[in-house]
Amino acid sequence: MKLASSLNLSIIVGVESRLEYLFTNLDYNIVMSYKGAQVVRTLCPMCGPAMGCGINCYVRDGRLVRIEGMKESPVNRGKLCAKAYASIQWLYSPQRLKYPLKRIGARGEGRFSRITWDDALNLIAGKLSEQKALFGPESLAVLSPQHRSYKDYFIRFLTVHGSPNFGHSGICAMQRAFSFAYTLGTPFLGADYEHTDMIIVWTANPAYASTPTGEMKRILDARQRGARLVVIKPEMQPDAAHADLWLPIRPGTNAALALAMINVIVNEHLYDEEFVARWCYGFEKLIPHIQKYTPEWAAPVTGLPAGQIREVARLYGNARSACILAGNAFDQSADSNNAVRAVAILIAITGNLDRLGGNTISSGSNMPQLKPVNPRERYTPDLVDKLVGPEMPRYFQPFLEGASSAYYRCLDSVLTGEPYPVKTIIAPGTQPTVITRNTGRIIAALEKLDFFVIIDVMQNASMPWADVVIPVASMFECDHPFEASANWIMARNKVIEPMGEYKSDYEFWLDLAVKMGYGDDFWHGSIKNCMNYQLENFGMTIDELRAHPTGIVYQPKPLVYEKYRQVFASLSSRLDKGPYLPEGKVAIYNTTFEKQGFNPLPEWVEPPESPTANPELLVKYPLVFFDTHTSDVFHHGWLRNIPYLREVHPDPWVHIHPDTARSRNIQDGDWIIIESPHGWIKARAVFFPGIRPDTVMGLHGWWQGCDELKRSGYSLLDGGANVNVLYSTDPDKAFDPLVTAMPKQTLVEVRKIS
């Protein structure tokens, strides 16, 4: 009884041992050692794009001493991943920024002097006002971090300022969303694992990505129930180890495999004739188009035997129900739109769209809608026309997150001046020198840029080029904003007092807006008023929301299948609000793309470098290299300075097949050089029998040292461990023409460091 009230108060008040034992997910001894600690409920800040897992933070003497999963969270239900447990070391890292800084040395030198917040804001506001008058507001670009709720604040700032240049990554999520939306009428697909007969995990990594959300468990439960599991990816990750069939596809060739599967399904009449006749537009044009993409054609491209391609196509086409989990590799290919469209067509013509056991479309939520901070109503054709390097062509702007230029192209404009040079870049929580390709060119752009502002919690890899460095509070050190998913809303609660001169990311944008004279559009700098505005549809204030320690969970609407009439009539995010699917049917033949000068049917386009695209390169570079951006403990370009995590992977590594290694006199654990036509890096060889022998795989994001483990940092350029130096950024080959996706595969050779 006392226990119940202490839980509501979120405080352990020193109740005696028997009651403490009832904290079901805590070991008795652990509870005893945290007796007297205050427990603050909040949200894990260590990854995106979800709202974050719920966490219970134990605070003693003002210090965060323990984190555990919050059982009441519908996202993670008490589970956490390693990154969350290690976040205490992240919070107390000696590399935390403490106060605002101004550059005093040359660009790249990394010499700064301390300034006040007011000085920093005045400096930035002065520069933006000056450039707005001289070059127009579009001379400002803000680069995107991984998905964070403060993104809407800076998009609002950009829009009020008059710039459309939200520099989105061009490599993640929106690429799949775009091609699904313009083929199926919905940007996002679920998977009905609980009722399915077959699951295809296609270059996704459910074991390592957002692990606590339980997708891997749902897949394994379905497998145990008897569903067939097929995994398509170049190496045997934990999900592939459980598969009935593993297709070790050559990186970057997903479109070729999907097209060949369509070929088999169409020619062997394994499609759902009734669904195709009623709900698909242009199937008759697909039939002749697909004939050239036979399994025999796809075999040398994908590196898979034609028989195996036929087998998986027949399994999928014959399954009573089947669902596909398409992963991030689809976003990182110069052929992204073709690949995603081909998968969408597979789902549709087999009748696996929005049906029991198939790929489902959400029926929505009973939760009210937040009032948006992102002022989409202010987008105009004039604003969109000013995009410096549209992530999607202007006709398709804005897409879901708002108008966007491709991240890389914002930076490239500084060097090319095309169509005009961006003059100021603000980089909140993102590191251009490790996040996008061709680091040498990015550094040249940062050196030429007029003004560069870094906003971060920690010293980062792009900081040496910054004119101003803004230190922001970690999410453990501020009590705003709230976060919301489809069915859950919860206030973020401050766990400890800020350990430096911090504002939050949210406050930074409000304060800068006020300095710029935009206060009327920014609640005159009041974050509380802003949050109360957002919550108006909920009929509550932020204080009232905070009174719910674990937030409020709303029931999802019951899943209704076959919502075709409604979904296929969905209006697009474009300025003209025209429908995604003008024919009101699945766009197998895409008239919208055709009218805009793009191919109406998906086709195969070779990557910039591959064994079939450039066989002449194979003499010097016989292996395919690809990288992944998530491991079991790291995420993008941060967290290598956290000792708990770095102990797991102390050195940059590449997975290499033992036969491939031994033929080059490389032993397990040797340091090796990985060299492509564009640059070279160093890493440790990790023998991995479950990888294609013609392929090596590395991890994106290495630059940081870890003092505690005596690991120094790495060069961002050749000779370091930054995979971005290995890739082509040829403007004619390295970008998907519709969604600006950039490839994550190239050709390399490896050799032991002598």
- Nearer to ligand SF4 (CB atom), residue 210 or residue 745: 210
- Nearer to ligand SF4 (CB atom), residue 630 or residue 740: 630
Nearest Cα residue to 512 out of 166, 168, 158, 167: 158
Interhelix angle 527-534/505-515, rounded to 10 degrees, is 110
Site for ligand SF4 in 251-280 (CB under 6 A): none
Local structure of residue 133 (DSSP, 8 states): H
Dihedral angle of Cα 663, 669, 675, 676, to the nearest 10 degrees: 90
**Closest separation between CB of residue 238 and ligand SF4, Å?**
16
Q: Segment contacting ligand SF4 (CB under 6 A): 210-218, 384-392, 559-567, 652-660? A: 210-218
d(CA 499, CA 474): 10
> How many Cβ atoms sit within 10 Å of the Cβ of residue 557?
12
Q: What are phi and psi of 546, to 5 degrees?
A: -65, -20
Residues contacting 526, CB < 8 A, separation 6+: 510
Q: What are phi and psi of 322, to 5 degrees?
A: -155, 150
- Nearer to ligand SF4 (CB atom), residue 286 or residue 633: 633
**Closest separation between CB of residue 512 and ligand SF4, Å?**
28
**Closest separation between CB of residue 78 and ligand SF4, Å?**
11
Bridge partners (DSSP) of residue 747 are 624
**Closest separation between CB of residue 150 and ligand SF4, Å?**
16
- Nearer to ligand SF4 (CB atom), residue 216 or residue 739: 216
Local structure of residue 453 (DSSP, 8 states): E
User: DSSP characters for 544-594?
Assistant: HHHTSTT-EEPPBPPP----HHHHTTPBPSSTT--BS-TTSSEESS-HHHH
- Nearer to ligand SF4 (CB atom), residue 85 or residue 293: 85
Interhelix angle 336-349/254-267, rounded to 10 degrees, is 30
**Closest separation between CB of residue 51 and ligand SF4, Å?**
8
Site size for ligand SF4 (CB under 6 A):
13
Cβ contact 656:691 at 8 Å: yes
Cβ contact 220:228 at 8 Å: no
- Which amino acid, 439? T
- Nearer to ligand SF4 (CB atom), residue 84 or residue 443: 84
- Nearer to ligand SF4 (CB atom), residue 84 or residue 661: 84
Query: Prior bond to 693 cis, omega within 30?
Result: no
**Closest separation between CB of residue 214 and ligand SF4, Å?**
11
SS3 111: coil
Site for ligand SF4 in 665-684 (CB under 6 A): none
Cβ contact 37:60 at 8 Å: yes
- Nearer to ligand SF4 (CB atom), residue 76 or residue 165: 76
**Closest separation between CB of residue 83 and ligand SF4, Å?**
4
- Nearer to ligand SF4 (CB atom), residue 532 or residue 704: 704
Which one of residues 163, 175, 203, 210 is an interface residue with ligand SF4 (CB under 6 A)?
Answer: 210
Site for ligand SF4 in 617-636 (CB under 6 A): none
**Closest separation between CB of residue 39 and ligand SF4, Å?**
17
Site for ligand SF4 in 40-59 (CB under 6 A): 44, 46-47, 52-53
- Separation of CA 298 from chain center: 29
- Nearer to ligand SF4 (CB atom), residue 52 or residue 185: 52
Q: What are phi and psi of 658, to 5 degrees?
A: -55, -35
d(CA 692, CA 715): 29
d(CA 648, CA 103): 35
Query: Prior bond to 49 cis, omega within 30?
Result: yes
- Contact code string over 296-315 relative to ligand SF4, x by CB under 6 A: --------------------
**Closest separation between CB of residue 85 and ligand SF4, Å?**
8
Assigned token pair, 655: 């997975």
Sign of CA dihedral 461, 464, 470, 476: positive
- Nearer to ligand SF4 (CB atom), residue 53 or residue 312: 53
- Nearer to ligand SF4 (CB atom), residue 79 or residue 156: 79
Site for ligand SF4 in 59-98 (CB under 6 A): 76, 80-81, 83-84
d(CA 471, CA 474): 9
Angle subtended at Cα 195 by Cα 193 and Cα 199, rounded to the nearest 5 degrees: 40
Assigned token pair, 10: 């979120």
d(CA 741, CA 333): 6
**Closest separation between CB of residue 639 and ligand SF4, Å?**
9
Nearest Cα residue to 183 out of 586, 742, 644: 586
**Closest separation between CB of residue 486 and ligand SF4, Å?**
16
Nearest Cα residue to 680 out of 450, 452, 440: 440
Nearest Cα residue to 438 out of 714, 625, 700, 717: 717
Q: Does the footprint of ligand SF4 cover residue 212 (CB under 6 A)?
A: yes
**Closest separation between CB of residue 75 and ligand SF4, Å?**
7
Q: Segment contacting ligand SF4 (CB under 6 A): 119-127, 209-217, 247-255, 465-473? A: 209-217
**Closest separation between CB of residue 55 and ligand SF4, Å?**
7
- Nearer to ligand SF4 (CB atom), residue 396 or residue 488: 488
Cβ contact 153:317 at 8 Å: no
- Nearer to ligand SF4 (CB atom), residue 212 or residue 402: 212
- Nearer to ligand SF4 (CB atom), residue 210 or residue 660: 210
**Closest separation between CB of residue 146 and ligand SF4, Å?**
10
d(CA 257, CA 140): 41
**Closest separation between CB of residue 489 and ligand SF4, Å?**
16
Q: What residues make contact with ligand SF4 under the rule CB under 6 A? A: 44, 46-47, 52-53, 76, 80-81, 83-84, 210-212
